[in-house]
Structure 1
Amino acid sequence: MTKIIIDTDPGIDDAMAIFYAAAAEDIELLGLTAIFGNVTVDTATRNALRLVEAVGLDIPVARGAEKPLEMPHIKPSAHVHGDEGFGDIPAATPKGNAIKETAAEFLVRMAREHKGELVLCPIGPLTNIALAIQADPEFASNVDRIVLMGGSYKEGGNITPYAEANVYHDPHAAEVVFASGAKVEMVGLDVTHQILCTKEDFAAMAEAAPKLGGMLQDMSHFYLKFYETVGKFDGCSLHDPAAVIACTHPHLFTSEEVGITVVTQGEEIGETRAAADARSETSVLMGVESEVVKSLFMQRISGLS
């Protein structure tokens, strides 16, 4: 099995990704680390705890950074994910608590303990990952891969004309990650915009798995309404689940090796662009067998009890 830690800002599509990881027999989910983004870090930590309890996992959850490395904190994306992160589902207090280690401390320790085996899957802003890189010079070489949901190479942005939201929330952290020398795979808008989950898909998952598929369907109503407000009436993009699936099914994607740098100031802040002087190359995923990836996602969610 592939040993994975998901760094997350739950978030509706984060919930979809975490439920997928819990259902996947080829994934050993070692823990979650929480980050600001779709919600505040406190809400992200609470939501991560709620998700692991809902799916019956006994894994650590670590609270991460509450603000970007350098730039001012950006308001959470309540218009996309709701005030509490799960659409119209009201807030609830989890039974468990976050561990005492910070997210960066937990990541550094786990990368050492599982050297060469750990796949890190960030599906929010990259601040926790950058802090781990800065804390331990060996972190980038200790992890097997960093498979991140974020960025856009040729597709354009989704929060500005230039920037994808996760990178935009902390472009300085993203630059640290892309320049770290770690093996980085970018699952950006170039592929996630090719995979759509419709209202009918959510209904099918809810019918097959009434508890957890039903929970995702309840969340999806708010999410799909947001997509309609931006003119997308054919469903929501499968952003975060695509990154988790790419961790174990790379053969379903095609990629280009690109030196990626991140714009950290000016109108184009947050843009992920090719640069000849980039300090390391990134595997930028550009193509995807979209129907196969969606089918795999739905099949595994539908198998949850």
Structure 2
Amino acid sequence: MKFPSPTLAAAAASFLSLVPVGSATKVILDNDWSTAGFIPFLLALNAGWDVLGLVGDTSNSWALQTSLHGLATLEVGNLSSCIPVYKGADYPLLNTPELFQAWEEVHGVLPWQGAFAPENLTEEAAGADPTSGDPNRVAQAAFLEGYPNGTLTGEYAAAWMIEQVHKYPGEVMIYAAGGMTNVALAVRMDPEFAKLAKGLVIMGGYIDVNLLQVTGSVNQADMNSDINLMIDPEGSKIALTADFPNITIVGNAANQVMPTQAYWDEVYQVKNPYTSLAYNYYGTTFAFWDETAMFAVLDPANVLNSTSFYLDVDTAWSSPTYGNIHGYQEALMPTAQKLQKVNYVLEVDSTKLLAEIKQSLQYPKTCADLC
């Protein structure tokens, strides 16, 4: 491990003591699922974790579309009979496409606008996921993995999440790699929800990346913008200031590991539905974002460098950093609000991450393995 300072080393040691270990850990995965977005749940299953269910949220697309992608990609691997999928909230707590686009007119356009990008029915017909417009419409052409045969579980996602942490107090890790709306709703619905969970891990929370947003390509700006938090800034603040036993932020570190064509060629040496989808549709343009977040909490040894600080989320609509995080050391943190100390991942073991993704894809678990 490499630690630049004794303070950082101590923080990293504290982080490692908080990360859950062992096959007994249960996990709920809340994400904006897509055709090639299944690797996080395969990683969890490969590590022996008990995946209680998936939740689809509004972030890259609307919650209905992402939930159906989650179901479809479970069906690809014969996992839908033992892992349920719950549809999350359609809308963030306050934000809407109209408000989001008005904010962009004042503060500048995001390179990736997710579900709040202007509606484009032509692109949807060609295979794009829905954006703006009616959140209940489904673009079937986007299901390159195949449209699901089953149905989503009817219970409200936030209510089900609350039910699970009460059923398994102290055992359920909440993984949130899309918008934070469903987590925020569960926090507001039940004051015991956060403290009864084992912890929260999120993909998002970039910090000090403004220079990267302005000196590189638009793609680089995209990789350093925080749509997962910005789609629902108020929900993000509620989730990240709730009293979870520990909160792990995988922000900048999520950009650490990029796939290459040579890597996908290697993965595809074993052919199955998951390696085929990853090989054909994951691409080499973006980093292993969601995968890094899952990997970071599977084993303490997966994190090579980390720190900790108190975190707030900017919820001022008038701010150009609306939806972005701000960190504080304890001596300088605000006293008028209750902030939580978070574990902030700075570096993961990239070699091990690639190896575990490969293993998870080439030899995925099925429901028969989980009985």
TM range, smaller chain: 0.7 to 0.9
Identity %: 21
Counterpart selection for 1:14 from 26, 37, 58: 37
Distance 1:140 1:131 in 2: 11
> Residue in 2 aligned with 1:238?
288
Indicate if the aligned counterparts of 1:33 and 1:64 stay in contact, CA closer than 8 A.
Answer: yes
5+ residue gaps, structure 2: 1-22, 101-112, 118-122, 131-139, 214-219, 366-371
Indicate if the aligned counterparts of 2:32 and 2:58 stay in contact, CA closer than 8 A.
Answer: yes
Indicate if the aligned counterparts of 2:233 and 2:313 stay in contact, CA closer than 8 A.
Answer: yes
Deviation, structure 1 residue 21: 2.8
Q: Deviations over 1:136-186 (max 9, x none)?
A: 000011101101111112345676798412111111111001111212110
> Residue in 1 aligned with 2:18?
none
Indicate if the aligned counterparts of 1:18 and 1:51 stay in contact, CA closer than 8 A.
Answer: no
Which has more radius of gyration? 2
Indicate if the aligned counterparts of 2:39 and 2:360 stay in contact, CA closer than 8 A.
Answer: no
Indicate if the aligned counterparts of 1:9 and 1:34 stay in contact, CA closer than 8 A.
Answer: yes
TM-score when normalising by structure 2: 0.72
Distance 1:162 1:14 in 2: 19
The secondary structure found in structure 2 opposite 1:196 is: coil
Distance 1:216 1:162 in 2: 23
> Residue in 2 aligned with 1:28?
50
Mapping 1:1-305, distance limit 5 Å: 1=23, 2-11=25-34, 14-22=37-45, 24-57=46-79, 58-73=82-97, 76=114, 83-84=128-129, 90=144, 92-156=146-210, 163-182=225-244, 183-188=246-251, 190-221=252-283, 224=284, 227=285, 236-253=286-303, 254-264=305-315, 265=317, 266-275=319-328, 276-277=333-334, 279-304=339-364
Distance 1:90 1:248 in 2: 29
Distance 2:223 2:290 in 1: 20
Distance 1:300 1:161 in 2: 25
Distance 2:171 2:128 in 1: 36
Q: Give, as a single letter, the amino acid of the residue that structure 2 aligns with 1:28.
A: D
Distance 1:104 1:178 in 2: 16
Q: Deviations over 1:241-276 (max 9, x none)?
A: 111112212322122111111112221112111131
Greater strand share, structure number: 1
Q: CA RMSD in A?
A: 2.5
5+ residue gaps, structure 1: 228-235
Change (3 A) 1:93 1:12: closer
